[in-house]
Amino acid sequence: YITFPNMFTSNNACSAPTSFLLTGIPGLESFHIWFSIPFGSMYLVAVLGNVTILLVVRVEQSLHQPMYFFLCMLAIIDLVLSTSTMPKLLAIFWFGACNIGLDACLTQMFFVHCFATIESGIFLAMAFDCYVAICDPLRHTSVLTHEVVGCLGLAALLRGLLYVGPLPLMIRLRLSLYQTQIIAHSYCEHMAVVTLACGDTTVNNLYGMGIGFLILTLDSLAITASYVMIFRAVMGLATPEAKLKALGTCGSHICAILVFYIPIALSSLTYRFGHHVPPHIHILLANFYLLIPPILNPVVYAVHSKQIRERLLHIVKAGAQ
């Protein structure tokens, strides 16, 4: 059972801490050791699944296609997202290691929000890939060349850096005094830190909301628009078999997109508007959106991709022999 020293101070007694204390799952500290079992298991599954995808695509030449390159990008992003939070969370659960330095906290914040933004950009790129594959299949290989795929991935990376880079800098430069050192969260989420600050946090709040709007709203609208055009093209295909094949091509993309956007949207809405939602429910949602996509993305694509399934079976049989 983890206890915290009484570090809460009044607004008139703000201090400039060099470190913070993460609570893990607030209100459920006595159950931390039990929470470590599912969280540790899910993290292990996420790492194994995404590393497997990376290895399979690397060794199988027939998978060197845009869809699988984007899948590898997702795997790397998911590994970074889960690894940026889960080891620290498990350390809190197992050893009560709640202390985190200010710079380490801001670094963790950057990685979480930056790579979530990059993942959203990769989903945009995957929607474009699916659109070209369905609506203009004869030009797919000429449009989605390896260089174009690399440029789309680089664009998603640069956009994440551009959007999220200012977040920790604005906290470091503008917010030096805090009401308490205790962050009622399992990792250094932007709003969880900003709400503890003394002084005017309007700029930080507006910037954070702007980033959330750009990612959740504009990205999801762009992806939705692309799939509306895709479905219109699919409905115009001549035979039912062609329609099913085309829908199957994009089915895994849609599943992965829903797995990513639904938890992050629920977590964001709960944080900003769910004032009556118990804190531990919000924290669990926040952790799930960092764990569920890394777990399910490899499963979704392995189920929907015949090439990946066949290569995995070949590896398993070779290992058994």
Query: Would you say residue 165 has pLDDT above 60?
Result: yes
Domain of 247?
20-319
Contact 74, 122 (CB under 8 A): yes
- 222-244: average pLDDT: 77
Contact 184, 152 (CB under 8 A): no
Residue 8 lies in a domain: no
CATH number at residue 27: 1.20.1070.10
Share of the chain above pLDDT 90, in %: 46
Residue 184 lies in a domain: yes
Residue 10 lies in a domain: no
Sequence-distant (≥ 6) Cβ neighbours of residue 277 within 8 angstroms: 270
Number of structural domains (the chain) is: 1
∠ CA 263-265-268, rounded to 5°: 110
Residue 74 lies in a domain: yes
What would the two tokens of residue 282 be? Answer: 């919000």
What is residue 116's predicted lDDT score, i.e. its pLDDT? 92
| pLDDT tens digits along 77-98 | 999 999 999 999 999 999 999 9
Residue 33 lies in a domain: yes
Between strands 182-183 and 19-22, the pairing is parallel
Q: What share of the chain is helix, strand, coil (3-state, %, to 5)?
A: 75, 5, 20
| pLDDT tens digits along 97-130 | 999 999 999 999 999 999 999 999 999 998 888 8
Sheet strand arrangement including 99-101:
99-101, 19-22, 182-183
Phi-psi region of 101 (alpha: psi -120 to 50; beta: other; left: phi over 0): beta
Residue 80 lies in a domain: yes
Residue 220 lies in a domain: yes
Q: What CA–CA distance (Å, rounded) separates 317 from 315?
A: 6
Contact 278, 27 (CB under 8 A): yes
Backbone angles phi, psi at 196, to 5 degrees: -90, -10
Q: How far is CA 256 from CA 7, 99, 239, 288, in A?
A: 42, 34, 27, 14
Q: How confident is the model at residue 202 (pLDDT cuts 50, 70, 90)?
A: very high
Q: Give strand pairing partners of 100.
A: 20
